[in-house]
Amino acid sequence: MLNNKTKLYIAFITTLGIVLIIYSIFNINNNYIGEVIVFGLIAAITESLPIYINKQVTVSVGYAIDLMALLIFGPYEAVIIGTLGYLLEIVKKRDNSIESVFNKPYYKTLFNISQIALSVGLGGLTYKYLGGRTGTLIYPNYILQAIFAAIAYYFLNNILVTILVSLLLNKSFIKTWLKDFSWMVTNFLFLAFIGILMASTFIAYGYISLVIFFVPLLMVRYMFKLYMDLKQSYYDTINALTKALEAKDRYTLGHSKSVEKLAVYLCREAGFSEAHTEMVRIAALLHDVGKIGIVENILNKPGKLSKEEYDYIKQHPVSGYEILKDVPFLKNVRYWVRYHHEWYNGNGYPDGISGRQIPLEAEILSVADVFDALVSDRPYRNAYTRKEAYKIIVDSEGTQFSPRVIRLFKRAYEKNKEDFKHDF
């Protein structure tokens, strides 16, 4: 159910978008009507072949077609082409169901055609008012105008969608953008280059350029889809390992996910890229995978472990390393998993390394692991409160934890306190 803020936002964007679409219909150049229909169909094909990033977010190569249209014809024609592309799309979803404008919620359709129209329109107007001329060779005279048009289109589209997702999830704009959209900048740069190149060749050579570029564009889309499918298969394997461990160890149930969430906050404070953060997230999910080889009567022992049992448990980072060492995709992750119980002063395990010998990523896993362990009930003690756990970790600076990771922890805790476990 949509909350009131979301409803107001959708209504506002829809009103602006519909007004622009109607205005564009009355201002379209009649000489371009045939081209608008053809390009609208091409846009529909590209929009019908999205790549799923997650259950909610998809990307397509339609951005390149819309950008191409606004550079060739102008803002109003491009608005209609972008709108037609969405209205005519027919998408096969992950569950094999077919989605089209006829079975989508009406507010979703209205919002999407509106945000596309507004984004394309802003890109087209940016190009026009910076002095760019439509239907004219772009390079070298109008290349800067084309680049600014591409940026205006991309960022308005990105901002409008991010605001909607943040309202739906009740999360801040920045957190939503960093998690789901910031990685798309690279995708945008490539598609902007393709769109500008396609516009230039169409102006020079006509429709033959669509054959030259459209097929390779679909091939690029196919290769990116293969990459995302391969990446998904890695995550499926990781989740299977995590579930296998959770089935064996009652305490681990939900623990890896909590460590993952906390580790992400520390990564962002460290200034890691999203790709780097993604690898730490994987490490967080797998940090205890070595416990799969530990017998259950020790893992689930209700009382305190004996010295021999504890020494046995302490081998799980090495076991995790051995499990992951032959996976090329996880070549760095295996070391972070191995070292996540090392201490800054050298009193940790399994290798007794210290100081800067411990990778920062492993330190981040360690802090997140310890915090979640402290605020969770254990067989031999009740959970600490959030404030108590915070104090224990901060007081361990210089012994268990390095000053650099404590600085990250303090900043992450203050900024994201509501997402750390609440007091009991």
Question: φ and ψ at 74, to 5 degrees?
Answer: 125, 175
Question: Angle formed by the axes of helices 4-27 and 143-169, to 10°?
Answer: 150
Note the pTM of the prediction, 2 decimals. Answer: 0.63
Q: What is the average pLDDT across 139-145?
A: 88
**In the structure encoding, which two tokens stand for residue 36, read together?**
């608008």
3-state secondary structure of 413: helix
Q: Which amino acid is at 28?
A: I
pLDDT for 93-128, tens place per residue?
766 788 888 888 888 899 999 999 999 999 999 999
pLDDT for 162-193, tens place per residue?
899 888 877 778 777 776 666 667 777 878 88
pLDDT at 103: 85
**Is domain 4-230 given the CATH code 2.60.120.10 in the classification?**
no
**Structural domain spans, the chain:** 4-230, 249-419
**Alpha carbons 406 and 393: distance in angstroms, whole number:** 8
pLDDT at 81: 96
Question: φ and ψ at 375, to 5 degrees?
Answer: -90, 10
pLDDT for 11-20, tens place per residue?
999 999 999 9
Average pLDDT, the chain: 85
Q: What is the average pLDDT across 239-263?
A: 77
**Alpha carbons 256 and 115: distance in angstroms, whole number:** 37
Q: Kindly report the number of other CB atoms within 10 A of residue 373's CB atom.
A: 16
Helix (H) or strand (E) holding 198: helix 184-205
Cβ proximity of 321 and 337 under 8 Å = yes
pLDDT at 423: 44
In this predicted structure, the answer to whether residue 424 has a pLDDT above a threshold of 50 is no
Q: Out of 12-26, 233-247, 375-389, give the one with best mean pLDDT.
A: 12-26
Q: Mean pLDDT check: name the lowest of 39-53, 71-85, 297-311.
A: 297-311
Q: What is the DSSP string of 355-393?
A: GGGS-HHHHHHHHHHHHHHHTS-BTTBPPPPHHHHHHHH
Q: What is the average pLDDT across 277-302?
A: 83
**Is domain 249-419 given the CATH code 1.10.3210.10 in the classification?**
yes
**Alpha carbons 422 and 360: distance in angstroms, whole number:** 26
HEC secondary structure over 120-187? HHHHHHHHHHCCCCCCCCCCCCCHHHHHHHHHHHHHHHHHHHHHHHHHHHCCCHHHHHHHHCCCHHHH
Q: What is the average pLDDT across 379-399?
A: 88
Name which residue leads in pLDDT, 218 or 46.
46
